[in-house]
Amino acid sequence: MSTAVIEIRGLTKSYGKTRALQGLDLTVERGEIFGFLGPNGAGKTTTCRVLTTLTKPTLGKASVSGFDVVRQPVQAKSGMGVVAQHTNVDGELSVYANLRLHGLLHHMPSALREKRIDELLEFVGLTDRQGDLVRRLSGGLKRRLMIARALLHEPKVLFLDEPTVGLDAQTRRRIWDLIRRSHQAGVTIMLTTHYIEEAESLCHRVGIIDNGKLIALDTPASLLASTGSHVVEEVDGSGRCCFFDSREKASAHAARTSATVIIRRANLEDVFIRLTGRRVRP
């Protein structure tokens, strides 16, 4: 039997003459935290919108938990949780009321709904804020509420579209901890991000997308190995980089150049640079 939770074949999405996705093929396995890395406009959010039934593809097929997202949208949505890029909780309702409304929309039995709300308020650290109006919460607390809401109906797969965008470093790491704990509870996670450290820290595999095309797919370690473990980067504003498979070779190159350089370990942005010639930009 297939262990794939998400399957995409030949996915294309056009907006007029602009192709946001160009024949995308992708499989996400059960139990993965899969990262979709790329700059804004690369096609990450469009892919998520298709998979979460918010946008219909122009061509191709996509399924979540075995259900076609176009032909069986209700069944596909019943097994997924979604944390959108932009805050979409109701600011005029309390934290508790937002969760209760979500449970009602998913026709959860009242006893199970209340049990899950209590569990998830504790899980995201909002038990003492459950009576507060959401508009009074910080951005980080709203994001934690969105994660709790997405997990309330016990989905098999969780979509996180830029879940930490705009958050400070401390809050971002708190969200990372919630993502890891969700995964440990058995949820498959698809995460889109343009934060390099986020992808490296959380993801079992990473797909790098650019201009609607998947240009690399592997574990973070394997992607880095394909580029080189060390980088010599010029600091004169050009950002030119040379890649080497050892610090010794990088140091030897640095000693021969007249430019001012730094030597550092490679990261996933370097993989993107080597593949496209430019950086991942928000």
Domains of the chain: 4-220 (3.40.50.300), 223-276 (no CATH)
- Beta-bridge partners for 244: 230
User: Tell me, what's the pLDDT at 267?
Assistant: 86
Distances (CA, A) of 229 to 243, 250, 253, 265, 272: 7, 9, 14, 6, 14
Maximum Cα interatomic distance, the chain, rounded to a whole number of Å: 71
Q: What's the pLDDT at 281? A: 63
Bigger pLDDT: 282 vs 254: 254
With a cut of 90, say whether residue 34 has pLDDT above it. yes
Name the β-bridge partners of 60: none
Q: Kindly tell me if the per-residue pLDDT of 123 is higher than 60.
A: yes
CA geometry: angle 8, 163, 169, nearest 5 deg: 140
Please say if the pLDDT value at position 282 is more than 60.
no
Angle, CA of 21, 27 and 30, to the nearest 5°? 140
Can you tell me the mean pLDDT for 124-140?
Answer: 95
For residue 276, what pLDDT band results from cuts at 50, 70 and 90?
A: confident
d(C-alpha 100, C-alpha 132), whole Å: 14
Confidence bin at 168 (pLDDT 50/70/90):
confident
